[in-house]
């Protein structure tokens, strides 16, 4: 992250309250470099672990990931989405990252939006439907195949491995869990697609500021 100190970035958030992961990501780029550098954070409520609903059978390692600094465990049974806004503010204070705009899934987003507004950070709703999400999903796939996405952590890769595509007759698609298995969390994959939708919408201004 030190390599990007005082950089402009794009943000994305997929919010949950109880069962799923909360996920947030930023996208950073360098001058004359087509690669996208991703930095992520995740949150789960403490109650998810104490109730034995730890998704271990699906490959989750929540306690290990928390010790490694990739995941934060929130007290109680619910996540207050304002803590995600606090993370963006932390990145601003610690590294000078100026988030140009952050895309968010509308569900459970009120506390997040309020706190982002309080910090003076711009945010934009990204609706989770095939018409909106098909293009960014295909963009993520293309950049993964071209090895243009860097910085994905172990949770990111786990979420991607749990994701499958639901295809429609008109060529549109949406992400869903493999065989509908509830314990296979895909929140990180969804957030990456949201991040790419924000990148698609604001690419020209963002890349001019970065100097790509």
User: Would you state the structure tokens that stand for residue 182, as one six-digit string?
Assistant: 């509830």
Asked if residues 39 and 26 have their Cβ atoms less than 8 Å apart, the reply is yes
pLDDT in tens, the chain (212 residues): 999 999 999 999 999 866 678 999 999 999 889 999 999 999 999 887 877 666 777 788 999 999 999 999 998 888 889 999 999 999 999 999 999 999 998 887 899 999 999 999 999 999 999 999 999 999 999 999 999 999 999 999 999 999 999 999 999 999 999 877 777 899 999 999 999 999 999 999 998 888 76
pTM of the model: 0.94
Closest to 184 in 3D by CA, of 160, 166, 165: 160
Residues present in the chain in total: 212
């Amino acid at each position: 992250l030190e390599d990007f100190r005082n950089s402009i970035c794009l943000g994305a958030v997929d919010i949950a309250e109880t069962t799923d992961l909360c996920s947030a990501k930023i996208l950073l780029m360098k001058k004359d470099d087509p690669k996208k550098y991703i930095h992520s954070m995740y949150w789960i409520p403490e109650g998810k672990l104490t109730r034995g609903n730890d998704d271990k059978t699906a490959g989750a390692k929540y306690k290990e990931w928390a010790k490694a600094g990739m995941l934060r465990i929130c007290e109680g049974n619910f996540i207050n989405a304002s803590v995600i806004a606090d993370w963006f503010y932390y990145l601003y204070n610690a590294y000078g990252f100026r988030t140009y705009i952050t895309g968010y899934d509308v569900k459970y987003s009120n506390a997040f939006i309020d706190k982002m507004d309080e910090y003076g950070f711009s945010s934009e709703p990204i609706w989770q439907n095939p018409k909106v999400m098909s293009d960014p999903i295909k963009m993520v796939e293309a950049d993964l195949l071209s090895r243009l996405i860097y910085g994905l952590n172990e949770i990111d890769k786990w979420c991607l491995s749990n994701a499958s595509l639901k295809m429609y007759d008109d060529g549109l698609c949406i992400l869903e869990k493999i065989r509908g298995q509830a314990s296979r969390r895909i929140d990180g994959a969804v957030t990456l697609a949201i991040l790419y939708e924000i990148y698609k919408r604001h690419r020209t201004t963002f890349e001019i500021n970065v100097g790509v």
